[in-house]
Amino acid sequence: MGSIAGTMYTFFQNSKTEGAYMLLFALSIVILYCTNRERDRFHFVYPTLLLLGVVCNPVTVWILSLIFPVLKNYSPLAGLIPILLYIPYGIVELLYIIKSAKTQRIVAILLFLYVSICGNFMGAFEGNTRTQTNYYDAGKKEVVEYLETNTKSMALADDSLLSFISSYGDSVPLLYGHDLLHADSDLGIIDGYDYEIFDIQRMMWAPEIYLDEIAKVAKTRGCDIIVVKNFEGAKSYTGVYREALTTPDYIVYRSIS
């Protein structure tokens, strides 16, 4: 029971740092339970609780992940949580309990402010999941600009950079693209990659251990640039590659020859 609660807590923490909207969602269910008649509870409250019981249940995800590898985590199922429907409906029900029009207006404005501040109203508030700073990543951009100007034959890049390169630097040829990341989860062969490519990708997760092996394979595959995550004690050269650019997040190695 404790582990399930822990999993759920982690899930919510990962999904939304502050959890303010989940709180509003939970409150709206309580409000709807209190304000709705028995008949409407059967339509709205109980099915939602059942839906939450199924969707937010680690057992469901585990069973489904056995059948559909695409459901390795909660994220596809989390979209089923009907936040968009329930929060406004709960707020409306709450507002129309209040008889005085003046109080109703004040409560409506306060709730509107709460919804806005907890989110990112018109992009005005920081601290949410997709603000300019964390989406348009300056560190990534620097690396991609370097790749665009310096890649002659092919580059091998860290997983976190792959999709960024496809958007910003679509002229950079890569040993593998971000389609490889979905190879396990779409029940089919996405691309014609061989097993060695999958091995390199796994080695790229731990460059502090496998950097020399990565360099060897990359050389045989014809890559002239390798981009790995920055780590402590990184060498300035490995095999025929030497360090060409270092950012707080990445190290770019370039072939000498």
Partner 1 sequence: MISFDMMNIPGLIVVLALPYMAGYILKTVTLRREIGQIETYLTGFFFLFLIQGAVFVTADSFMGLAFAGLCDCYVGMIIAVAAVFAVTVIINIILNKKRGREERYRQKLTKREWILISLMFLIGILVCIRVVGTIGYVREDFMFPTVKTTLATGTVNAYNPITSRPYVYGIINSRKVITLPIYYACTCAVFKMDPILLLYVICTIQTVICTYFSCVLFIIPIIRFRERLYMFGIFLGALLLSGDYFNYAIGGKLLWNGYAGDTIVAAVMLPYVLFLIMSGYRERRLKIIDSLKLFLVFFSSVFITGVAKGALLICITGGIAFICCIIIGRKGAAPEDRTLIVGE
Interacting residues with partner 1 between 97 and 156 (CB under 8 A) = 108, 111-112, 115-116, 118-123, 128-132, 135-136
CB of 115 to partner 1, least distance (A): 5
Maximum Cα–Cα distance across the chain: 80
Site for partner 1 in 70-99 (CB under 8 A): 70-71, 74-85, 87-89, 91-92, 95-96
Closer residue to partner 1 in complex, CB, 176/253: 176
Q: How far is CA 230 from the centre of its chain?
A: 21
- Taking the C-alpha atoms of residue 247 and residue 68, their distance in angstroms, rounded to an integer, is 38
> Residue 250 forms beta bridges with which residues?
229
Closer residue to partner 1 in complex, CB, 173/239: 173
Helix (H) or strand (E) holding 250: strand 250-255
Per-residue contact track with partner 1, 30 to 69, x per CB under 8 A?
--------xxx-xxx-xx--xx--x-------------x-
Closer residue to partner 1 in complex, CB, 128/150: 128
- Taking the C-alpha atoms of residue 251 and residue 33, their distance in angstroms, rounded to an integer, is 55
Residues 17/139/230/257 CA torsion (nearest 10 deg): 150
Taking CB under 8 A as the criterion, the residue among 7, 8, 20, 244 binding partner 1 is 20
CB of 118 to partner 1, least distance (A): 7
Please give the size of the binding site for partner 1, defined by CB under 8 A: 81
Site for partner 1 in 153-172 (CB under 8 A): 162-168, 170, 172
| Sole window of 183-191, 200-208, 219-227, 241-249 interacting with partner 1 (rule: CB under 8 A) | 183-191
CB of 103 to partner 1, least distance (A): 15
Of 22, 44, 23, 47, the closest CA to residue 35 belongs to: 44
Place of tokens 């620097």: 142
In the chain, the amino acid numbered 54 is V
Strand segments (E) across 121-206: 155-156
CB of 247 to partner 1, least distance (A): 18
CB of 175 to partner 1, least distance (A): 8
Of 230, 236, 221, the closest CA to residue 155 belongs to: 221
- Under rule CB under 8 A, residue 187 binds partner 1: yes
Closer residue to partner 1 in complex, CB, 48/238: 48
Encode 211-249: b = buried (16+ Cβ within 10 Å), e = exposed.
beebbebbbeeebbbbbbbeeeebeeebbebeebbebeb
